[in-house]
């Protein structure tokens, strides 16, 4: 049995939202690191080595798309899945696009912890296939 907790990097400028979501994720056996400033996300990802990044789209000083581009430009983080979060698009619009916006999984806020956990699980389930194809997301 694998007892390693999956690592989630949560990048969102809404401090109340990140505190609540972090607590919920930790109660579901995830290890969570929060960054409330987009410009700190790349350094945090390099240090923390997340299995998945939850990334807000609209943040001060740097938008989520720019953060995603920097993460994907880094050879050690390129394979790390990113799920976008945003209140900018409505749930209906996101559903009409089957939860994919700009090629990335997308969750519309407000969102329940159960919905976030479900999406995390969907994307973490894809990682073994990536490892079999030679992509490694090593925490050490």
Strands 7-11, 100-101: pairing is unpaired
Q: DSSP states of 87-140 as a string?
A: SSS-HHHHHHTTTEETTEEEEESS--HHHHHHHHHHHHTTHHHHHHTT------
Residue 20 or residue 97, greater confidence: 20
Cβ contact 23:68 at 8 Å: no
7-132 CATH choice from 3.40.50.300, 3.30.360.10, 3.90.850.10, 3.40.50.2300: 3.40.50.2300
- pTM of the full structure: 0.83
- Assess whether pLDDT exceeds 90 at residue 127: no
Q: Are 76 and 54 in contact (CB under 8 A)?
A: no
pLDDT at 132 over 60: no
Tokens encoding 99: 């939860």
Look at residue 4 and tell me whether its pLDDT is greater than 80.
yes
Bridge partner residues of 110 (DSSP): none
Residue 30 pLDDT greater than 90, yes or no: yes
Better-scored residue on pLDDT, 98 or 109: 109
pLDDT digits (tens, 9 = 90+) for 37-93: 999 999 999 999 999 999 998 898 898 989 999 999 999 999 999 999 987 666 666
What was the pLDDT predicted at 1? 44
């Amino acid at each position: 049995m694998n007892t390693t907790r999956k690592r989630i990097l949560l990048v969102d400028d809404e401090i109340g939202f990140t505190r609540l979501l972090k607590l919920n994720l930790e109660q579901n056996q995830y290890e969570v690191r929060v960054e409330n400033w987009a410009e700190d996300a790349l350094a945090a990802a390099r240090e923390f080595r997340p299995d998945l990044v939850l990334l807000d789209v609209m943040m001060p000083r740097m938008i989520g798309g720019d953060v995603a581009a920097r993460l994907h430009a880094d050879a050690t983080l390129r394979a790390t899945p990113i799920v976008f979060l945003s209140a900018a698009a409505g749930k209906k619009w996101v559903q009409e696009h089957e939860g994919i916006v700009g090629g990335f999984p997308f969750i519309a806020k407000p969102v329940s912890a159960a919905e976030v956990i479900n999406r995390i699980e969907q994307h973490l389930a894809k990682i073994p296939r990536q490892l079999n194809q030679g992509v490694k997301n090593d925490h050490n």
